[in-house]
Structure 1
Amino acid sequence: MRSRVRSATIAGAARLAQLTDQRVGWARLPKLVGLAVLVGLRHQLRTSNLYGAAPVAHPPGGPVDAGNYLGARTRDGSYNDLADPRMGAVGCRFGRNVAPEHSYPESPHRVVDPNPRLISRKLLTREQFQPARTLNLLAAAWIQFEVHDWFAHGTVADKPWVVPLRDDDPWPQQPMRVKRTAPDPDPGAPGPPSFTTQESHWWDGSQIYGTTPEFASALRAPEKGKLRIDASGLPPPEVEATADLTGTAGNFWVGLALLHSLFMREHNAICEHLAQAHPHLTDQQLYDKARLVNSALLAKIHTVDWTPAIIAHPTTVAAMRINWFGVLGERLGTRLRRRFGRIGRSPLLHGIPGSPTTHHGVPYSLTEEFVAVYRMHPLIPDEFTFRALADDRITARHEFGELTVLNVRARLAETPIADLLYSFGRAHPGSLSLHNFPRQLQHLQQVDGTLLDLGTVDVIRSRERGVPRYNEFRRLFRLKPAATFEELTGESALAAELREIYHDVELVDLMIGLYAEPKPPGFGFSDTAFRVFILMATRRLESDRFFTTDFRDETYTRAGMDWVRDNDMRSVLLRHFPELAPALAGVANPFAPWNPVSP
């Protein structure tokens, strides 16, 4: 009886939060009221917007060497959930945030209508760089770095999408052909088609450590659990040779190289610290514990540094810190936990790390909608300015194409990593807006020589994977749909451009609507996209036993837990590049613009 009353009370409070949000908007409320509304919205989303995927009967790659899976992350993400060892592992299906009846792929005709290439040319093409002035360029590199950990769809060359081109289109091949998303290798589940991931769904640092046995083994140093790093700060060339440049690794560029190098160095620093604090640990144990610590630190940085930088509204900044530290906060919570232990099991007081694992009744996976709202290519500039850390002097200018995978080592040979980090800290990414898509990503030459228009591809991907278009997406997340193009954009000129392409506001693609809608104060992305983050940002932590039940000394070691507690993005940067201290002095968030350094 008491449980039913409690459930009814929570449901009633969640409905009140939804009504308040619809009538007033959470961003217009005082911070404490806004936080309460966000909690209610999250409950509604957990109730109505979580749909699991059927398990894969024949996962790719065969059995994995699980090793000490109770106290270590496995290479493919298996055994995170001990009751369902394949949950979230490589080759598992993406889940959904909308009901199955709303997640069928569009018909072949609708996949290319309105024409995605025309949308790319007319609505996405960068006419003049629109900077996001509250952020630095490391924020743009960071999200791609993290996305490479979370998900990767494969593609197939068979039966590509054929995109008709206008007579005035300069694309060199007529018509344009776009590879399809790889189909489910083990089809047969009822309902709409599903797709599988080439990375694990867990927040486990797989972009650093690798998911193939060849790369993961080649990256290991011979002793003390460390990773192999050459003089350039990257894995040696023979290790890189094991990576498949036709897949995600082909998207590597200088921005990613900086973060890969930084957190490989961090792994090795953690190994040294653990070896000193716990000399009994073997080589394998040092590697396993350092990976746990490094992965948790990445999750912490994303939660308390990156996200508050890109959604810098006072309410969301507080919400993200509560996710990690609880309402007691970082300092008080730490003092009380050290003296009395964790007070209760609820994440409310001390935060999600160390609380009980929960999937909220739906097996954990990332979702196609989560993938769709993380399409953030406008963050990337077309032109980059490199500066000397010693005196802020401009030392080089490069276009994006000169920073891509085959040019990374040349750029690192020309400019020290400390100077590159400083240059990224001083520069701005692009705003997530229409007419701000990088031109060089609309004419991107891949490693195999083929050309790609990522603007066209981004539009096609949501259509072929059954992600609803903008207005339907808003309805399914209990947001008011836009009745007119003017209501969507908040102004008339952009509305006219959308009307010319789409004619009907119901046809506007999700990504286009996300870029077009006015943003809440302090936000780098749309409120519509934020609805997915409200749900999935906590879910990625709550479902992972290494952030919840097993976030403890017995799993991480005492020294490892202290490392996660005591570090953040600033300390990582300064540990490995202390010469960055003047550039970071007084900067509240390392993903905000850094100071220019005087000679």
Structure 2
Amino acid sequence: MSVPVFAALLITLDTALAQVPLSWDTRPVCQASSPLLYFNLAETERAAATGSIKHTGKLFTQLFDTACPNYFFQKYRTIDGTCNNWRNQGAARTQARRLLPPAYDDVNQKPRQTAVSGKPLPSARAVSIAAHPPTPKELGLTNMIMQWGQFIDHDVTAFPVATELDSTIKCCGSNSSIPQLCKDENCFPILLPANDGDFRGTCMEFVRSVAARDPQGNILNPRQQINSVTSFIDGSQIYGSSEELLKKLRRPNSSRLKTKKTKLGLFLPEATDEAEGCILRENSNDYCFLAGDSRVNEHPALASMHTLWVREHNRIARKLAKLRPQDSTEEIFQLTRKIVGALLQKITYNDWLPIIIGRVATLAELVSKTGRSTPNLALDPSITNSFSTATFRFGHSMVPAEMLIGERTVYLRDLFNRPAEVLDNLDDVLAGLAGVSRIHGLVGYRSRLVEDVDKEVAEDLTKFLFQPPNAPRGSGFDLVSLNIQRGRDHGIPPYTKFREICNYPPLTGFNDKALGPHGSKLATIYESVDDIDLFTGLLYEPHIQGGIVGATLNCLIVHQFTYLKTGDRFFFDTSEKECGFTDDQLENIRETTLASIMCENLEMPQLPVNVFRLVSKYNLLTDCQQLKGALNLKLFQ
């Protein structure tokens, strides 16, 4: 790891520590005490019953002066992340954290739309066309590396948009034109270039993220956005982040989660409310899924991962109920949820992150192979605004234009919002993500490889995102444009400002080697390097040695995952054993892999030991019978 990256990490850590009141109690977190807790929670006029804020009233930020009951004796997390730390940072429905002051055009509210010259920034769609062409190249990894990133992203980030409070908001007029009289403060439509041959009209719909408000209903100055799920890696996408949603997902008086039985097995429960965009076949038994995160229906690969983990929860809960007959169903449920959360963290930190950032994961002490970590409750574990809007969207460049499902290669554009592929082909979807076929083992389809992290993004995302079947061309969205516009909506400063806090030298121009061999391409759309949007700049950087991301992206990933680990007193390897696991349990969790979990819950004959990497002499294709049983639940008896 380079000195600048470590320096940047120390800078941000020191900044956080400098903001901590000296009067804070720093005793170990599981010792008895009665601290007074001050924390900001975004509340609603009615209960947040969907895991986000759909169908709720006006959102505001309220200051509480409350002590968490039994704070130092908690064995289990709360569902909404409260009481994890003394200020309840990282809890659901709290404000995002910022690494830099926002770059709003009017300082407080107006989206970033002005270049350093004073002229308008190029349209987000114009940047997408010029800077992110659909000519991706493959990376020697399976698509599971991309899919795990999305699954974990939905565990830690969900920033609601204003249409979740008012579904009638429309920012574009008829024929995708810009309405002259549109004065809705939540509208920030994407302007389409005159020569855009892929979308109709001059306007692409875009609604601003919900703004946090004070108790009097006034939007905060400067404007701030709200994360509706917990920032912690705790299975929010499985269990939700509210008691109301968990009640919908959990079987009554049971330690298990709800499922729906079909002729092909047990699947996610059915959404009783309308699932946005969900496409069902005529005269079929298709249905839309309900999960801890409302985005579950977006893509069959995502929904398949949700299904896998609901099955794993229920498998663990059934076995623990037999091993611990004296325990209540609530105790079994909470212990199961704790184990599932630990497995998500282990796979993310020990198996996934080292591929993304290379040996930096070990140098930054993110990998947990031995020993235990000590929580530092001075750190704010909240998701940073830039992480949600740009940093952790790097995976969009990895999405392939095609997906392997059994013996079929299917275009991505033909899979959006289609639960049928999960109901009919769950095992084949997950096998394809792991780069294998259940029928023939290894297969030679190119679609088994994930795309490289670079400026190229598949046209299925930039031209056909969520385009309805049989709809005219141009009826969908452009994901890159949405990403760039969301960053501007949130007042995210330009890319060069983040290089600065990561302690990297200023860019000398568009030909600076920090922007890679194609940096000059950005000069065709931006006037100055200081105008480059964060999402775009991060994807132009050459990879760091041993990783698959660039230097600034690496820095920002290290920062966020350090805070998510060290600021979480329930992290799976915590030194506070009352909040964590015994030595034997911890070692067993470290030995459990995603491959073993897939083998336990699917009809899978063989899998590579590491499903993120291609089969090789170092990553053998192994019979599932050998991979099963990695998690020894007798240790939790």
Q: Shorter-chain TM-score category? A: 0.7 to 0.9
Structure with bigger helix share is 1
**Superposed displacement of residue 566, structure 1:** 3.7
Higher mean displacement: 259-268 or 146-155? 259-268
Tell me: CA distance 1:189–1:396, structure 2 relative to 1, closer, same or farther (3 Å). closer
**Superposed displacement of residue 68, structure 1:** 8.6
Match of 1:132 among 139, 152, 166: 139
Match of 1:519 among 543, 552, 573: 543
**Superposed displacement of residue 592, structure 1:** 0.9
Match of 2:431 among 422, 429, 447: 422
Report the residue type matching 1:148 in the other structure. H
Tell me: CA distance 1:460–1:518, structure 2 relative to 1, closer, same or farther (3 Å). same
2:238 matched to which residue of 1?
208
1:218 matched to which residue of 2?
248
**Superposed displacement of residue 363, structure 1:** 3.8
**Contact conserved, 1:359 with 1:542, CA < 8 A, in 2?**
yes
User: Equivalent residues in 2 for 1:562-581 (5 A)?
Assistant: 564-577=589-602, 579-581=604-606
Higher mean displacement: 512-521 or 143-152? 512-521
**Superposed displacement of residue 274, structure 1:** 2.2
2:84 matched to which residue of 1?
80
Q: Secondary structure, in 3 states, of the residue corresponding to 2:511? A: helix
**Contact conserved, 2:94 with 2:226, CA < 8 A, in 1?**
yes
User: Equivalent residues in 2 for 1:16-415 (5 A)?
Assistant: 21-22=3-4, 38=6, 41-48=8-15, 55-56=39-40, 59-60=43-44, 70-81=74-85, 83-84=86-87, 86-99=88-101, 109-110=113-114, 113-126=121-134, 128-133=135-140, 135-156=141-162, 157=169, 158-159=184-185, 160-170=187-197, 171-186=199-214, 192-222=222-252, 224-230=254-260, 231=262, 235-238=267-270, 240-242=271-273, 245=276, 248-249=294-295, 252-312=298-358, 315-319=359-363, 322-325=365-368, 330=369, 333=370, 350-352=371-373, 355=374, 357-360=375-378, 362-371=379-388, 372-376=390-394, 377-387=396-406, 395-405=407-417, 407-408=418-419, 410-415=420-425
Tell me: CA distance 1:76–1:496, structure 2 relative to 1, closer, same or farther (3 Å). same
In structure 2, C-alpha distance between the alignment counterparts of 1:96 and 1:418, rounded to whole Å: 40
Q: Secondary structure, in 3 states, of the residue corresponding to 2:227? A: coil
Report the residue type matching 1:95 in the other structure. R
Q: Does 1:445 align with 2:475?
A: no
Q: Secondary structure, in 3 states, of the residue corresponding to 1:483? A: coil
In structure 1, C-alpha distance between the alignment counterparts of 2:361 and 2:498, rounded to whole Å: 25
In structure 1, C-alpha distance between the alignment counterparts of 2:621 and 2:405, rounded to whole Å: 13
Higher mean displacement: 446-455 or 153-162? 446-455
In structure 2, C-alpha distance between the alignment counterparts of 1:177 and 1:244, rounded to whole Å: 19
Report % sequence identity. 23
Structure 1 unaligned regions, length at least 5: 1-16, 27-37, 334-349, 388-394
In structure 2, C-alpha distance between the alignment counterparts of 1:442 and 1:185, rounded to whole Å: 35
Q: Does 1:539 align with 2:566?
A: no
**Contact conserved, 1:225 with 1:287, CA < 8 A, in 2?**
yes
In structure 2, C-alpha distance between the alignment counterparts of 1:253 and 1:411, rounded to whole Å: 9
Report the residue type matching 2:13 in the other structure. R
**Superposed displacement of residue 182, structure 1:** 1.5
Q: Secondary structure, in 3 states, of the residue corresponding to 1:486? A: coil
**Contact conserved, 2:151 with 2:302, CA < 8 A, in 1?**
yes
**Superposed displacement of residue 206, structure 1:** 0.7
TM-score by length of 1: 0.77
Report the residue type matching 1:72 in the other structure. Y
**Superposed displacement of residue 421, structure 1:** 2.0
Higher mean displacement: 450-459 or 95-104? 95-104
Structure 2 unaligned regions, length at least 5: 21-37, 50-67, 163-168, 170-183, 278-292, 436-447, 624-637
In structure 1, C-alpha distance between the alignment counterparts of 2:320 and 2:432, rounded to whole Å: 32
In structure 2, C-alpha distance between the alignment counterparts of 1:189 and 1:162, rounded to whole Å: 21
**Contact conserved, 1:386 with 1:397, CA < 8 A, in 2?**
yes
**Superposed displacement of residue 518, structure 1:** 1.1
**Contact conserved, 1:105 with 1:463, CA < 8 A, in 2?**
no
Tell me: CA distance 1:234–1:502, structure 2 relative to 1, closer, same or farther (3 Å). farther
**Superposed displacement of residue 590, structure 1:** 2.2
Q: Secondary structure, in 3 states, of the residue corresponding to 1:397? A: strand
Aligned residues: 517
In structure 2, C-alpha distance between the alignment counterparts of 1:278 and 1:496, rounded to whole Å: 64
Cα deviation 1:125-157 (Å, max 9, x = unaligned): 31x331122x21111111111111101111123
TM-score by length of 2: 0.72
Q: Secondary structure, in 3 states, of the residue corresponding to 1:538? A: helix
In structure 1, C-alpha distance between the alignment counterparts of 2:545 and 2:218, rounded to whole Å: 46
